[in-house]
Amino acid sequence: MLMRFRRLFLVFILLLPTGTGNTLAQSLREQADKRKLLIGAAVNPGRFSEAPYAETLAREFNMVEAENVMKWGGIRPAQDKFNFGPGDQVVAFAVAHKMKVRGHCLLWSEYNPAWLAKGSFTPEQLSKLLEEHITTVMKHYSGKVFAWDVVNESFLANGKIEPSIWYDSPGIGLAEKGTAYVEQAFRWARAADPKALLFYNDYDTEGLNPKSDAVYEMAKDFKKRGVPIDGVGIQAHIIDLDMAGISSLAANMKRLTALGLQVHITEMDVGLRLEKTGALMDQADLDRQAEIYRFVATVCVQEPGCAAFMTWGFTDKYSWIPGYTKGAKGKALLFDQAYAPKPAYRALREVLAR
Protein backbone atom coordinates (compact mmCIF):
# COMPACT_ATOMS: atom_id res chain seq x y z
CA MET A 1 0.00 0.00 0.00
CA LEU A 2 2.85 2.39 0.84
CA MET A 3 4.58 1.76 -2.51
CA ARG A 4 1.29 2.36 -4.35
CA PHE A 5 0.80 5.67 -2.52
CA ARG A 6 4.32 6.78 -3.46
CA ARG A 7 3.72 5.97 -7.14
CA LEU A 8 0.44 7.90 -7.16
CA PHE A 9 2.11 10.85 -5.43
CA LEU A 10 4.91 10.84 -8.04
CA VAL A 11 2.38 10.83 -10.89
CA PHE A 12 0.52 13.74 -9.24
CA ILE A 13 3.71 15.78 -8.96
CA LEU A 14 4.63 15.13 -12.59
CA LEU A 15 1.21 16.30 -13.75
CA LEU A 16 1.39 19.62 -11.90
CA PRO A 17 1.94 22.71 -14.14
CA THR A 18 5.57 23.73 -14.31
CA GLY A 19 6.84 27.28 -13.88
CA THR A 20 7.12 27.71 -17.64
CA GLY A 21 3.80 26.11 -18.48
CA ASN A 22 1.69 27.94 -15.93
CA THR A 23 1.80 31.17 -17.92
CA LEU A 24 -1.13 32.80 -16.13
CA ALA A 25 0.87 32.78 -12.89
CA GLN A 26 3.53 34.95 -14.48
CA SER A 27 3.70 38.72 -14.43
CA LEU A 28 3.34 41.03 -17.41
CA ARG A 29 7.07 41.63 -17.17
CA GLU A 30 7.96 37.93 -17.37
CA GLN A 31 5.74 37.44 -20.40
CA ALA A 32 7.00 40.59 -22.12
CA ASP A 33 10.63 39.62 -21.49
CA LYS A 34 10.02 36.35 -23.35
CA ARG A 35 8.69 38.32 -26.31
CA LYS A 36 11.52 40.88 -26.07
CA LEU A 37 8.81 43.52 -25.74
CA LEU A 38 9.03 46.54 -23.46
CA ILE A 39 6.09 46.81 -21.09
CA GLY A 40 6.01 50.03 -19.14
CA ALA A 41 4.16 52.64 -17.12
CA ALA A 42 4.41 56.35 -16.45
CA VAL A 43 5.45 56.95 -12.86
CA ASN A 44 5.69 59.55 -10.12
CA PRO A 45 8.88 59.11 -8.06
CA GLY A 46 7.17 60.69 -5.07
CA ARG A 47 5.19 57.45 -4.72
CA PHE A 48 8.15 55.06 -4.70
CA SER A 49 8.00 55.07 -0.89
CA GLU A 50 4.51 53.51 -1.05
CA ALA A 51 5.31 49.80 -0.86
CA PRO A 52 2.43 48.44 -3.02
CA TYR A 53 3.20 51.06 -5.68
CA ALA A 54 6.90 50.22 -5.86
CA GLU A 55 6.39 46.46 -5.58
CA THR A 56 3.74 46.32 -8.30
CA LEU A 57 5.80 48.53 -10.60
CA ALA A 58 8.98 46.47 -10.21
CA ARG A 59 7.17 43.14 -10.56
CA GLU A 60 4.99 43.92 -13.57
CA PHE A 61 7.04 46.24 -15.81
CA ASN A 62 10.45 46.34 -17.46
CA MET A 63 10.29 50.01 -18.46
CA VAL A 64 9.36 53.28 -16.76
CA GLU A 65 8.76 56.83 -17.92
CA ALA A 66 8.51 59.94 -15.78
CA GLU A 67 4.93 61.18 -15.86
CA ASN A 68 5.80 64.84 -15.22
CA VAL A 69 9.20 65.35 -13.62
CA MET A 70 11.16 65.40 -16.89
CA LYS A 71 8.84 67.91 -18.56
CA TRP A 72 9.88 71.59 -18.65
CA GLY A 73 7.60 72.44 -15.72
CA GLY A 74 9.20 69.80 -13.53
CA ILE A 75 12.81 69.84 -14.60
CA ARG A 76 13.40 73.58 -15.12
CA PRO A 77 11.71 75.69 -12.42
CA ALA A 78 13.79 78.75 -13.35
CA GLN A 79 15.59 79.82 -16.50
CA ASP A 80 18.98 79.35 -14.87
CA LYS A 81 18.09 76.27 -12.77
CA PHE A 82 17.61 72.61 -13.65
CA ASN A 83 16.05 70.26 -11.11
CA PHE A 84 17.26 66.78 -12.01
CA GLY A 85 16.57 65.23 -8.60
CA PRO A 86 13.13 63.66 -9.23
CA GLY A 87 14.13 62.44 -12.69
CA ASP A 88 17.27 60.92 -11.22
CA GLN A 89 15.05 59.04 -8.75
CA VAL A 90 13.19 57.50 -11.68
CA VAL A 91 16.48 56.43 -13.24
CA ALA A 92 17.76 55.05 -9.92
CA PHE A 93 14.58 52.98 -9.45
CA ALA A 94 14.96 51.63 -12.97
CA VAL A 95 18.61 50.73 -12.45
CA ALA A 96 17.83 49.00 -9.15
CA HIS A 97 15.13 46.89 -10.82
CA LYS A 98 16.80 46.35 -14.20
CA MET A 99 14.29 48.44 -16.14
CA LYS A 100 14.67 50.75 -19.13
CA VAL A 101 13.80 54.45 -19.00
CA ARG A 102 11.87 56.43 -21.62
CA GLY A 103 12.23 60.20 -21.52
CA HIS A 104 9.19 62.47 -21.74
CA CYS A 105 9.32 65.14 -23.10
CA LEU A 106 11.65 67.82 -24.50
CA LEU A 107 9.19 70.06 -26.34
CA TRP A 108 5.48 70.52 -25.66
CA SER A 109 3.10 73.46 -25.68
CA GLU A 110 1.74 72.45 -22.24
CA TYR A 111 3.19 71.98 -18.75
CA ASN A 112 5.73 74.74 -19.19
CA PRO A 113 6.93 76.83 -16.23
CA ALA A 114 5.45 80.30 -15.79
CA TRP A 115 8.77 82.01 -16.48
CA LEU A 116 8.73 80.43 -19.94
CA ALA A 117 5.02 80.48 -20.77
CA LYS A 118 4.60 84.11 -19.68
CA GLY A 119 8.03 85.36 -20.65
CA SER A 120 8.66 87.97 -23.33
CA PHE A 121 11.18 86.14 -25.50
CA THR A 122 12.09 86.89 -29.09
CA PRO A 123 12.16 83.95 -31.52
CA GLU A 124 15.97 84.09 -31.44
CA GLN A 125 16.05 83.93 -27.63
CA LEU A 126 13.49 81.13 -27.55
CA SER A 127 15.47 79.17 -30.13
CA LYS A 128 18.61 79.39 -28.00
CA LEU A 129 16.64 78.41 -24.89
CA LEU A 130 15.21 75.33 -26.58
CA GLU A 131 18.55 74.18 -27.96
CA GLU A 132 20.15 74.71 -24.55
CA HIS A 133 17.35 72.80 -22.83
CA ILE A 134 17.43 69.81 -25.17
CA THR A 135 21.21 69.64 -25.00
CA THR A 136 21.46 69.97 -21.21
CA VAL A 137 18.73 67.48 -20.38
CA MET A 138 19.78 64.86 -22.91
CA LYS A 139 23.43 65.05 -21.96
CA HIS A 140 22.53 64.69 -18.28
CA TYR A 141 20.62 61.47 -19.06
CA SER A 142 22.90 60.17 -21.80
CA GLY A 143 23.32 56.43 -21.40
CA LYS A 144 20.47 56.34 -18.88
CA VAL A 145 17.44 57.20 -21.03
CA PHE A 146 17.26 54.98 -24.11
CA ALA A 147 14.50 56.88 -25.95
CA TRP A 148 12.97 60.36 -25.82
CA ASP A 149 9.66 61.86 -26.82
CA VAL A 150 11.45 64.80 -28.42
CA VAL A 151 8.28 66.57 -29.53
CA ASN A 152 4.85 66.01 -28.05
CA GLU A 153 1.44 66.85 -29.55
CA SER A 154 2.10 69.32 -32.36
CA PHE A 155 -0.93 68.62 -34.57
CA LEU A 156 -4.59 69.60 -34.37
CA ALA A 157 -7.36 67.10 -35.12
CA ASN A 158 -7.55 68.37 -38.72
CA GLY A 159 -3.86 67.69 -39.28
CA LYS A 160 -2.72 71.32 -39.16
CA ILE A 161 0.07 72.53 -36.90
CA GLU A 162 -1.16 73.66 -33.48
CA PRO A 163 -0.33 77.26 -32.53
CA SER A 164 2.13 77.23 -29.63
CA ILE A 165 5.00 79.00 -27.94
CA TRP A 166 7.42 76.91 -30.01
CA TYR A 167 5.72 77.26 -33.38
CA ASP A 168 4.37 80.80 -33.69
CA SER A 169 3.71 82.42 -30.30
CA PRO A 170 6.41 83.63 -30.78
CA GLY A 171 8.05 80.45 -32.12
CA ILE A 172 11.74 79.73 -32.62
CA GLY A 173 11.98 81.60 -35.91
CA LEU A 174 10.25 78.98 -38.06
CA ALA A 175 6.61 80.12 -37.87
CA GLU A 176 4.45 79.36 -40.91
CA LYS A 177 7.00 76.76 -42.05
CA GLY A 178 5.01 73.69 -41.07
CA THR A 179 7.02 71.03 -39.28
CA ALA A 180 10.35 72.87 -39.63
CA TYR A 181 10.45 73.63 -35.89
CA VAL A 182 9.85 69.93 -35.12
CA GLU A 183 12.70 69.03 -37.46
CA GLN A 184 15.01 71.49 -35.73
CA ALA A 185 14.24 69.96 -32.33
CA PHE A 186 15.06 66.48 -33.65
CA ARG A 187 18.36 67.68 -35.11
CA TRP A 188 19.36 69.26 -31.80
CA ALA A 189 18.35 66.07 -29.99
CA ARG A 190 20.49 63.86 -32.22
CA ALA A 191 23.47 66.14 -31.69
CA ALA A 192 22.96 66.07 -27.91
CA ASP A 193 22.77 62.27 -27.60
CA PRO A 194 23.52 60.34 -30.80
CA LYS A 195 22.65 56.98 -29.18
CA ALA A 196 19.16 57.82 -27.87
CA LEU A 197 16.11 56.86 -29.93
CA LEU A 198 14.09 59.91 -30.96
CA PHE A 199 10.27 59.81 -31.05
CA TYR A 200 7.40 62.04 -32.06
CA ASN A 201 4.43 61.44 -29.70
CA ASP A 202 0.73 62.34 -30.06
CA TYR A 203 -2.83 61.46 -29.03
CA ASP A 204 -5.88 60.53 -31.13
CA THR A 205 -3.53 59.01 -33.71
CA GLU A 206 -4.44 55.36 -33.17
CA GLY A 207 -6.47 54.87 -36.34
CA LEU A 208 -6.38 56.41 -39.81
CA ASN A 209 -7.61 60.01 -39.59
CA PRO A 210 -6.43 63.50 -40.62
CA LYS A 211 -4.20 63.81 -37.57
CA SER A 212 -2.48 60.45 -37.95
CA ASP A 213 -2.16 61.17 -41.68
CA ALA A 214 -0.28 64.38 -40.83
CA VAL A 215 2.04 62.51 -38.45
CA TYR A 216 2.68 59.89 -41.13
CA GLU A 217 3.43 62.49 -43.81
CA MET A 218 5.82 64.31 -41.49
CA ALA A 219 7.62 61.09 -40.60
CA LYS A 220 7.80 60.08 -44.26
CA ASP A 221 9.25 63.46 -45.19
CA PHE A 222 11.77 63.31 -42.34
CA LYS A 223 12.95 59.83 -43.33
CA LYS A 224 13.26 60.85 -46.97
CA ARG A 225 15.40 63.89 -46.13
CA GLY A 226 17.51 62.28 -43.44
CA VAL A 227 15.99 64.11 -40.48
CA PRO A 228 16.86 62.00 -37.41
CA ILE A 229 13.64 60.31 -36.27
CA ASP A 230 13.53 56.75 -34.97
CA GLY A 231 9.93 56.25 -34.00
CA VAL A 232 6.39 57.42 -33.41
CA GLY A 233 4.56 57.21 -30.11
CA ILE A 234 0.83 56.46 -30.25
CA GLN A 235 -0.60 57.56 -26.92
CA ALA A 236 -3.84 55.52 -26.90
CA HIS A 237 -5.73 57.58 -24.32
CA ILE A 238 -9.20 56.13 -24.89
CA ILE A 239 -12.00 57.81 -22.95
CA ASP A 240 -14.94 55.92 -24.39
CA LEU A 241 -15.65 52.28 -25.17
CA ASP A 242 -16.30 52.73 -28.89
CA MET A 243 -13.83 50.72 -30.98
CA ALA A 244 -14.47 52.74 -34.16
CA GLY A 245 -11.62 55.18 -33.61
CA ILE A 246 -9.02 52.46 -33.12
CA SER A 247 -10.26 49.85 -35.60
CA SER A 248 -7.62 50.86 -38.18
CA LEU A 249 -4.74 50.79 -35.68
CA ALA A 250 -3.02 47.90 -37.46
CA ALA A 251 -3.06 49.73 -40.81
CA ASN A 252 -1.65 52.85 -39.21
CA MET A 253 1.12 50.93 -37.48
CA LYS A 254 2.05 49.08 -40.65
CA ARG A 255 2.50 52.26 -42.67
CA LEU A 256 4.70 53.77 -39.97
CA THR A 257 6.88 50.70 -39.53
CA ALA A 258 7.17 50.41 -43.33
CA LEU A 259 9.12 53.68 -43.14
CA GLY A 260 11.68 51.94 -40.95
CA LEU A 261 10.32 53.46 -37.74
CA GLN A 262 9.59 51.87 -34.39
CA VAL A 263 6.14 52.34 -32.91
CA HIS A 264 5.51 52.57 -29.17
CA ILE A 265 2.12 52.57 -27.47
CA THR A 266 3.06 55.27 -24.98
CA GLU A 267 0.20 56.36 -22.70
CA MET A 268 -2.64 53.87 -22.83
CA ASP A 269 -5.62 54.06 -20.53
CA VAL A 270 -9.34 53.42 -21.07
CA GLY A 271 -11.73 55.60 -19.08
CA LEU A 272 -15.00 54.12 -17.79
CA ARG A 273 -18.25 55.90 -16.93
CA LEU A 274 -18.64 56.80 -13.27
CA GLU A 275 -21.53 57.65 -10.99
CA LYS A 276 -21.28 60.91 -9.02
CA THR A 277 -20.14 58.79 -6.09
CA GLY A 278 -17.15 57.58 -8.10
CA ALA A 279 -18.57 54.07 -8.49
CA LEU A 280 -18.74 52.37 -11.87
CA MET A 281 -21.92 53.14 -13.78
CA ASP A 282 -21.94 49.63 -15.30
CA GLN A 283 -19.84 46.72 -14.01
CA ALA A 284 -19.91 45.20 -17.50
CA ASP A 285 -17.73 48.10 -18.64
CA LEU A 286 -14.76 46.36 -16.99
CA ASP A 287 -15.02 43.57 -19.56
CA ARG A 288 -15.45 46.06 -22.40
CA GLN A 289 -12.36 47.88 -21.15
CA ALA A 290 -10.46 44.60 -21.10
CA GLU A 291 -11.35 43.93 -24.73
CA ILE A 292 -9.96 47.30 -25.79
CA TYR A 293 -6.70 46.60 -23.98
CA ARG A 294 -6.68 43.16 -25.58
CA PHE A 295 -7.22 44.62 -29.06
CA VAL A 296 -4.47 47.24 -28.83
CA ALA A 297 -1.99 44.79 -27.29
CA THR A 298 -2.76 42.17 -29.95
CA VAL A 299 -2.13 44.66 -32.75
CA CYS A 300 1.16 45.62 -31.10
CA VAL A 301 2.50 42.08 -30.61
CA GLN A 302 1.50 41.12 -34.15
CA GLU A 303 3.41 44.07 -35.65
CA PRO A 304 7.19 43.42 -35.47
CA GLY A 305 7.93 47.15 -35.43
CA CYS A 306 5.86 47.73 -32.28
CA ALA A 307 8.59 47.57 -29.65
CA ALA A 308 6.89 48.91 -26.51
CA PHE A 309 3.51 49.00 -24.79
CA MET A 310 3.08 51.52 -21.97
CA THR A 311 0.20 52.70 -19.82
CA TRP A 312 -0.17 56.18 -18.28
CA GLY A 313 0.19 55.05 -14.71
CA PHE A 314 -0.88 51.58 -13.64
CA THR A 315 -3.24 51.92 -10.66
CA ASP A 316 -6.64 53.61 -10.62
CA LYS A 317 -5.56 55.18 -7.35
CA TYR A 318 -3.46 57.70 -9.25
CA SER A 319 -5.09 57.95 -12.69
CA TRP A 320 -5.35 61.41 -14.25
CA ILE A 321 -8.65 60.59 -15.98
CA PRO A 322 -11.10 61.53 -13.17
CA GLY A 323 -9.53 64.97 -12.83
CA TYR A 324 -9.45 65.53 -16.58
CA THR A 325 -13.10 64.50 -17.06
CA LYS A 326 -14.33 66.21 -13.85
CA GLY A 327 -15.31 62.89 -12.37
CA ALA A 328 -17.29 61.62 -15.37
CA LYS A 329 -14.76 58.91 -16.26
CA GLY A 330 -12.20 56.90 -14.35
CA LYS A 331 -10.94 53.44 -13.36
CA ALA A 332 -8.87 53.50 -16.54
CA LEU A 333 -5.86 51.35 -15.67
CA LEU A 334 -4.77 47.74 -15.13
CA PHE A 335 -4.92 47.69 -11.32
CA ASP A 336 -7.66 49.02 -9.07
CA GLN A 337 -7.15 51.44 -6.20
CA ALA A 338 -6.00 48.60 -3.94
CA TYR A 339 -3.54 47.31 -6.56
CA ALA A 340 -5.68 44.27 -7.38
CA PRO A 341 -5.47 43.21 -11.05
CA LYS A 342 -8.54 43.96 -13.16
CA PRO A 343 -9.94 42.14 -16.22
CA ALA A 344 -7.83 44.50 -18.37
CA TYR A 345 -4.69 43.21 -16.67
CA ARG A 346 -5.66 39.61 -17.31
CA ALA A 347 -6.49 40.37 -20.95
CA LEU A 348 -3.09 41.99 -21.48
CA ARG A 349 -1.30 39.10 -19.80
CA GLU A 350 -3.16 36.58 -21.95
CA VAL A 351 -2.06 38.40 -25.12
CA LEU A 352 1.56 38.42 -24.00
CA ALA A 353 1.40 34.72 -23.07
CA ARG A 354 0.33 33.56 -26.54
Active-site residues, by number, are: 153, 267
Using CA atoms, how far residue 159 sits from 87, 103, 228, 332, in Å, is 33, 25, 22, 27
Residues 289, 272 contacting (CB under 8 angstroms): yes
Distance (Å, whole) CA 222 – CA 242: 33
Q: Are 126 and 172 in contact (CB under 8 A)?
A: yes
Identify which of 61, 10, 62 has the alpha carbon closest to the alpha carbon of residue 345.
61
For residue 231, what are the β-bridge partners? 199, 262
Query: E strands of 36-195, at which residues?
Result: 38-43, 63-66, 100-107, 147-152
Nearest to 347 by CA among 299, 287, 303: 287
3-state DSSP assignment of residue 36: coil
Q: Which of helix, strand or coil describes residue 259?
A: coil
Nearest Cα neighbor of 200 from 106, 136, 117, 69 is 106
Classify burial at 3, counting beta carbons within 10 Å of its beta carbon; exposed 0-12, middle 13-18, buried 19 or more.
exposed
Determine the Cα–Cα distance for residues 117 and 73; give it in Å rounded to an integer.
Answer: 10
Q: Which amino acid makes up residue 122?
A: T
